[in-house]
Amino acid sequence: MLKKQYELALPCMLLLIIAVSCKDDAVPAKVDPPKEEVIEPAVDPEIAKTMGFFMDGWAEKVFAIPNFLDEKAPASVSGTVTIDASKVVTKIPQTIFGHNANIWMSPMVTEPLFMTHITNLKPNIIRFPAGSGSDVYFWNASPGKLPADVPMLLTGADGSKKDPGFGYGMTNDNWRASLDNYYEMCSKSGNKGVFTVNYGYARYGTSANPVATAAHLAANWVRYDKGRTQFWEIGNENYADWEWGYRIDVAKNKDGQPEYLTGKLYAQHFKVFADSMQKAAAEIGAKIYIGAVMYESETEAWQVTTTKTWNATMLPELNNRADFYIVHNYFTPYDQNSTAAVVLSSALSQPSKMMNFVTKTIAENGVLQKPIAMTEWNMWARGSKQQVSNVSGAFAVIVLGESLTNKYGLAARWDLLNFWAEGDDHGLFSDGNEPGVPKWTPRPSFYYLYFLQKMMGDRLVASELNTGNTNVKAYASTYSSGQVNVNLVNLTASPQTVEVKIKNFKIGERFYWYSLEGSNDNGEFSRKVMINNIVPQGVAGGPADYATLKPRSALTASGIRLTVPARGMISAVIDKK
């Protein structure tokens, strides 16, 4: 019996020994590694027709890791913005950050403070001589030496004779810039120009052929320019009754022009200008682009017939001869004491409304879409120092963000220096008449635009706030060197804490940011801007050492969270892994 049990147990023991032996040599069960995040590559879209050749100067940007001040990110958030680094809206043209100079803002190159600030800001594009003065500007004349065919008094909209305040390119006055002063300023500050040639002279000139005479004057300017300037405009807001040349004295006119300008007549004259100027450019081996003036929105009952019929009569007659179209907009309701909410809302809504109108009008008139240049923009709001306020800075950031979103080829803010006018002053710098504020002190808008451009990458990419969050507006971009930028503007009177999430991007160790906000002076329109809580020393403006301020920085490990100050901005860069 025992023998039988042993015989039965022996095979079992052998099997057990074999099993243990095999177990020691067995291959471990295969475990799949964690899936690596799939990063969709970013693909540049086709250049929009409304941007066109303005994109020719596009350049890659590289973000250099800065020295920073270590901070802790906030623990809780009230909203989320999601950025998709793979969805490129548009490359960012350098021409979007432009400004307007004018002839009365001193020789410029003689002003060290101005030259330092404009070099630091580097808007890339500075329009000149700019504004309505362009239509009475004689680039090659010295004071008191106008051409013989220029009447000393011109006809205003009401038919009265007025001194228009002629501008001269060849002057040594200490209160205004000569043309050569302007060229030197651009050269030393690393900027280029947009010139607005004198179209009004084609109307009020008393020679036998005033159109040819004015076109020849413009062509000679192209020759004198010697290829330094690519972008040229024929006239300024010529659809309006406030422009010189809208109404002329027909008794002095010798080529049978009507008393009032029309869009069709402007187009006929434009072609003469363009032929002369392009011929001059060819002679000197330069490539120039010439823009025609368009009216930018639906007309209203109070406007003159010239304005109401401008686009419909100008575009067909022009027949695609312009290289680009020009629009202007001062976004807020005209001459109203607008609240901060109205100012910021106007910046959000008007750029798209204007672009939709202009492109629709071009299509309806059967002509080709061309690049669109917004060569003047600002606000009409007045009465509470809105134009010189911290809110004006937030407004400026939104205007540029929406200009990129809606694919304008060029944008130029009006203007670098103007008149204090108790705070109803478009100037980016103080003119010296602001109580307690030295001349050339930068206004809040300067700092907002400086840090926007400093931190923004070279491609605008898609960004979206969580549903229902209308308190913050976001504009995101990427660098060719790999980092992601986001600019957050707070539309409300309370701080907003936002978490930034990024798709199709490997987040690095740190993020860096600057925080801009107003102070507690002048109600909701503070004349000051604080940067990273650094308060300006004076009664207006921002920190004097803005160009050397270190950004704040925090680790990304616990999330990218930022508190956007009331009606302020955060401009941040997130490093790549």
Residue type, 311: N
Q: Of 304, 322, 340, which marks where a domain is finished?
A: 322
**Residue 354 located in a structural domain:** no
**Residue 345 located in a structural domain:** no
Tell me how many domains the chain contains: 2
Q: Of 264, 292, 322, which marks where a domain is finished?
A: 322
Same domain flag for 223 and 295: yes
- pLDDT, position 37: 75
Same domain flag for 213 and 268: yes
State the pairing for strand pair 231-234/192-197.
parallel
- Cα separation, 93 vs 89, in Å, equals 12
Same domain flag for 275 and 158: yes
Confidence bin at 34 (pLDDT 50/70/90): low
- pLDDT, position 30: 62
Quote the pTM value.
Answer: 0.93
- Residue 472 sits in a domain whose CATH number is 2.60.40.1180
Token readout for 469 is 């969050």
- Residue 227 sits in a domain whose CATH number is 3.20.20.80
CA distances (Å), 32 to each of 29, 35, 38, in order? 10, 8, 16
Q: What would the pLDDT profile of 419-436 be if each residue is shown by its tens digit?
A: 999 999 999 999 999 999
CB 554 within 8 A of CB 73: yes
**Residue 361 located in a structural domain:** no
Q: What would the pLDDT profile of 100-155 be if each residue is shown by its tens digit?
A: 999 999 999 999 999 999 999 999 999 999 899 999 999 999 999 999 999 999 99
**Residue 162 located in a structural domain:** yes
**Residue 140 located in a structural domain:** yes
Confidence bin at 6 (pLDDT 50/70/90): very low
Question: Among candidates 323, 306, 324, 299, which has minimal Cα distance to 266?
Answer: 306
Same domain flag for 216 and 317: yes
Task: Please give the mean pLDDT across all residues of the chain.
Answer: 94
**Rounded to the nearest 10 degrees, what angle do helices 112-121 and 444-455 cross at?**
40
Same domain flag for 87 and 101: no
- Cα separation, 28 vs 278, in Å, equals 78
* Over residues 373-402, mean pLDDT: 98
Q: What is the C-alpha radius of gyration for the chain, rounded to an integer number of angstroms?
A: 30
Same domain flag for 83 and 151: no
Same domain flag for 85 and 188: no
Q: 129 preceded by cis ω (within 30°)?
A: yes
- Cα separation, 239 vs 237, in Å, equals 5
Confidence bin at 12 (pLDDT 50/70/90): very low
pLDDT at 565 over 50: yes
**Residue 451 located in a structural domain:** no
Q: What would the pLDDT profile of 243-288 be if each residue is shown by its tens digit?
A: 999 999 999 999 999 999 999 999 999 999 999 999 999 999 999 9
- pLDDT, position 15: 38
* Over residues 19-29, mean pLDDT: 47
Alpha helices in 48-191 (DSSP H): 112-121, 179-189
- pLDDT, position 18: 37
Same domain flag for 149 and 191: yes
* Over residues 450-461, mean pLDDT: 98
**Rounded to the nearest 10 degrees, what angle do helices 340-364 and 390-405 cross at?**
30
- pLDDT, position 130: 86
**Residue 287 located in a structural domain:** yes
Q: Of 322, 357, 376, which marks where a domain is finished?
A: 322
Question: Among candidates 551, 512, 522, 517, which has minimal Cα distance to 535?
Answer: 517
Same domain flag for 544 and 476: yes
CA distances (Å), 495 to each of 250, 347, 426, 485, in order? 61, 20, 27, 20
Q: What would the pLDDT profile of 72-101 be if each residue is shown by its tens digit?
A: 999 889 899 999 999 999 999 999 999 999
* Over residues 447-473, mean pLDDT: 94
CB 238 within 8 A of CB 135: yes
Same domain flag for 242 and 214: yes
Same domain flag for 129 and 267: yes
Range of 275's domain?
Answer: 93-322
Same domain flag for 144 and 230: yes
**Residue 144 located in a structural domain:** yes
* Over residues 448-473, mean pLDDT: 94
